[in-house]
Amino acid sequence: MLLFSVLAAAVAPGLALLTYFYLKDRYDSEPLHMVLRVFVMGILMVLPVMIIQRGMMIWLGDNPYVESILISGGVEEFIKWFVLYHIIYNHTEFDEPYDGILYAVAVSLGFATVENVLYAFAGNASVSAMFVRALLPVSGHAMFAVIMGYYMGRAKFTDGRKKRWFLMMSLVLPFFWHALYDVIMNTMANYWLWFIAPLMAGLWYGAIGKITRANNRSPFRFVKREEEIKL
């Protein structure tokens, strides 16, 4: 029974956050099967990411800053970005700016959920420990994904030079915040909470603003309003 409770606590945060972001799509909800497919892509990313990270640790050595910036933040965010750009970016279902956020969150939470389950089994974690992980690593992955998806959505619906700029930002900014998060967690053993709490609060505040702005740029926004007027 305890094993089931811990497993449920490991899986629930990812599914809860995915549901939250799915329901935030105000004007043209994505097909649920497509969102779940992307979530599964995130799950399948775990093995290749672990292999790459293990190889880099052997090659670069065990340094907390290198691990935080390159091995963890760098590899994970680049693989997520690569999957989104090559599989989702040109997909027909990606038809409004908010879709970038939703699909980025889906792939990130798929990855974070498996990471959480592996932690639960490997570390004999308690339900309370999984609650803390829900507030920090799982939520963190979602916040980095919001940034990635927001700028990928801007790039998708922007022409000219700004398209490349937004695409670059969709990779660089999640990498920066993920690296900063990991540096705090891995190098500030005694006082990490004083830094991570305001960081997460700021990321959530920024995420809510990006969700609103992405929805406001939806091409379906005015279609919905016309339908409401007709009713």
Q: How far apart are CA 27 and CA 140, in angstroms?
A: 26
Q: How confident is the model at residue 30 (pLDDT cuts 50, 70, 90)?
A: very high
Highest mean pLDDT: which of 17-26, 55-64, 117-126?
17-26
- Residue 24 contacts residue 145 (beta carbons within 8 Å): no
The neighbour count for residue 65, using CB atoms within 10 Å, is 12
Dig out the tokens for 41 from the structure.
């892509």
Question: What's the DSSP call for residue 41?
Answer: H
- Please give the share of the chain, as a percent, with pLDDT higher than 70: 91
pLDDT in tens, 106-133: 999 999 999 888 887 776 666 677 778 7
Q: How far is CA 208 from CA 83, 167, 173, 220, 221, in A?
A: 24, 21, 16, 20, 18
pLDDT in tens, 164-178: 999 999 999 999 999
Q: How far apart are CA 95 and CA 135, in angstroms?
A: 31
For the chain, the maximum distance between any two Cα atoms, rounded to a whole number of angstroms, is 65
Dig out the tokens for 2 from the structure.
């305890």
Statement: residue 140 has pLDDT above 90: yes
Q: How far apart are CA 194 and CA 202, in angstroms?
A: 13
Q: How confident is the model at residue 89 (pLDDT cuts 50, 70, 90)?
A: very high
Note the residue count of the chain: 231
